[in-house]
Structure 1
Amino acid sequence: MTDMAHGRRSAHVIVLGNEKGGSGKTTTAMHVIALLLHEGARVGSMDLDGRQRSLTRYVENRKAWAEGAGVDLVMPDHVVLARSDLGTTEAAQAAERTAFETAFTRLAVENDFVVIDCPGADSFLSRLGHAVADTLITPMNDSFVDFDLLGRVDPQSWKIKGPSVYSEMVWESRKRRAMADGGTIDWVVMRNRLSTLAAKNKRRVENVLEALADRIGFRLAPGFGERVIFREMFPSGLTLLDLRSEGVDAQMSMSHVAARAEVRGLLDELNLPPVDHRATAPVERAVGAR
């Protein structure tokens, strides 16, 4: 993206979106943020769910743990936005748009990447976030319950009947993005909590996802396996990418190694632009840095 007001290249925007909770959006968002930070990129983050605040809590836990342990951890430039409580829909949406554009413009100018975590439900703020995406990541559990938000399938033939509500919203976001600046959204669907068993249902989900991907234009990427470690790290705010940082005392098991490989595999699949350190010297955002 190009920021016309400042005459310089803006950040690459990564949006985590899915209108179903429990799909692993926040865990994925924080691991993408941490990996980019550890590679020297400047990263801004936005939490558009001002009620649940999952990503915000993750960042706050990270800061509190680092301060308590006396460890410098790289930190994102974080913003959380809440839905407006103004009386009319028109007034509320105007306030939300202003708040979003103000926060997003600053983050996009001052960082190499902006990672946006959207709420697990349709909202005006979520639609604003989707419309600025360069890369849209939709994590989904490997089930037809999650697939139903993407597409409708015939239960007898397992053929695609048509796109569903979330896919239609993404289509509208792609049109808004194209009209706004001529940009495109690279949509990546990642299958989370994959079972190691070659079950019939797993193969059916894979087959219908591949058919839907060709039809409505998204890419499939490998997600994260069903690992307890992803859930255990939330209270400390740590990620798998921090376990070998100076001052972080943690034993690396084979499960940790495999999970780290899954995170790096996802980032490789995203095909993100490299950080141009000549244009924007990296700034390490560590706890205590100003």
Structure 2
Amino acid sequence: MGQPHFIVFANEKGGTGKSTTAVHTAIALAASGYRVAALDLDHRQRTMTRYLENRDATILRLEKQLPQARAEVLDDQSESGLEGAIARLSSDADVMVIDTPGRDDAVARAAILKADTLVTPMNDSFVDLDLIGQVHPENFKVTKPSFYAELIWNSRTQRAKVTGKSVDWVVLRNRLQHIQSHNLQRVGAALDELARRVGYRVIPGLGERVIYRELFPKGLTLLDLADLGEVGLGHIAARQELREMVAGLAIPGQDEIDQPKAAAAG
């Protein structure tokens, strides 16, 4: 692929499942045969780094070969530090997954300018929607884009001028409830209306499932459970959810997530 495809997970609001989604995406792509590098910009919380360190420990403990991403945390919180980390990681990577902190800072903005695919995870609520667009309190119609939508719009415009490349902005609806509700429909309608105004795509993310929280201490993802003999009916549904999410990102050269394993089994 030459230059890696940059997938940047960015949202200034915390608690949206950003790091969990970033790790699952990185490992799913690695399982598909991509060479994946992962860069964690949150040098204080280090959620993605801790997740992948837990994964390394589990691989060592179980003596299992599991897909992995080459990872680094950005301790040098400067734009030159970011450039250096990207140079180190990108030399043998097809895809680079960057997890930004849940705050606005210069390094996060610089990372957003690198994005080929920009992913903004959000919980399915008007609280999270307020980050990218404001709605009327009675009819829930979008009244105007919020500051973050304007930030992304400006970043995309700046990148297009410099590189001539467009940015695929994806809003990821995490923690979707599995039953229909008025709130679900209203948030969905507002997101669709705002998408037409500011130019992002909406795809479903990871649902509200306890399994995602339970996997963190071992650094595992849903794709690992079959190899470990731990797949239940609920896990099968969640795996399909993950497949659809990664397919929805539409990464260049993307194949079916389990295809390499299926080919090996055949």
TM-score by length of 1: 0.84
Among 159, 179, 187, the alignment partner of 1:197 is 179
SS in 2 for 1:110: coil
Alpha-carbon contact 1:83-1:125 (below 8 Å) kept? no
Among 17, 20, 27, the alignment partner of 1:24 is 17
Q: CA deviation at 1:186?
A: 0.2
Q: CA deviation at 1:50?
A: 0.4
Q: CA deviation at 1:171?
A: 1.2
Alpha-carbon contact 1:136-1:187 (below 8 Å) kept? yes
Structure 1 unaligned regions, length at least 5: 1-7, 85-95, 277-290
What does residue range 13-52 of structure 1 map to in structure 2 within 5 Å?
13-52=6-45
Match of 1:206 in 2: 188
Among 105, 110, 116, the alignment partner of 1:134 is 116
Partners in 1 of 2:176 and 2:32 — Cα distance?
Answer: 27
Match of 2:221 in 1: 239
Among 61, 64, 70, the alignment partner of 1:77 is 70
Q: Aligned letter for 2:140?
A: W
Match of 1:262 in 2: 241
The RMSD of aligned alpha carbons is 1.7
Q: Aligned letter for 2:20?
A: T
Q: Aligned letter for 1:23?
A: T
Among 111, 132, 136, the alignment partner of 2:93 is 111
Alpha-carbon contact 1:33-1:76 (below 8 Å) kept? yes
Partners in 2 of 1:231 and 1:166 — Cα distance?
Answer: 28
Aligned length: 256
Partners in 2 of 1:275 and 1:258 — Cα distance?
Answer: 21
Q: CA deviation at 1:38?
A: 0.8
CA deviation profile, 1:52-79 (whole Å, cap 9, x unmatched): 0000000111011111222222221111
Match of 2:51 in 1: 58
Instruction: Assess, with a 3 A threshold, how the Cα gap between structure 1 residues 275 and 42 changes in structure 2: closer, same or farther.
Output: farther
Partners in 2 of 1:52 and 1:151 — Cα distance?
Answer: 27
What does residue range 121-160 of structure 1 map to in structure 2 within 5 Å?
121-160=103-142
Match of 1:227 in 2: 209
Alpha-carbon contact 1:137-1:190 (below 8 Å) kept? yes
SS in 1 for 2:170: strand
Q: Aligned letter for 2:208?
A: E
| Most deviating of 230-239 and 150-159 | 150-159
CA deviation profile, 1:135-190 (whole Å, cap 9, x unmatched): 01111100000000010111123221111121111112212211321111101111
Alpha-carbon contact 1:43-1:77 (below 8 Å) kept? yes
Partners in 2 of 1:259 and 1:223 — Cα distance?
Answer: 10
The structure 1 segments of at least 4 consecutive aligned residues displaced by more than 3 Å after TM superposition are: none
Q: CA deviation at 1:39?
A: 1.0
SS in 2 for 1:9: coil
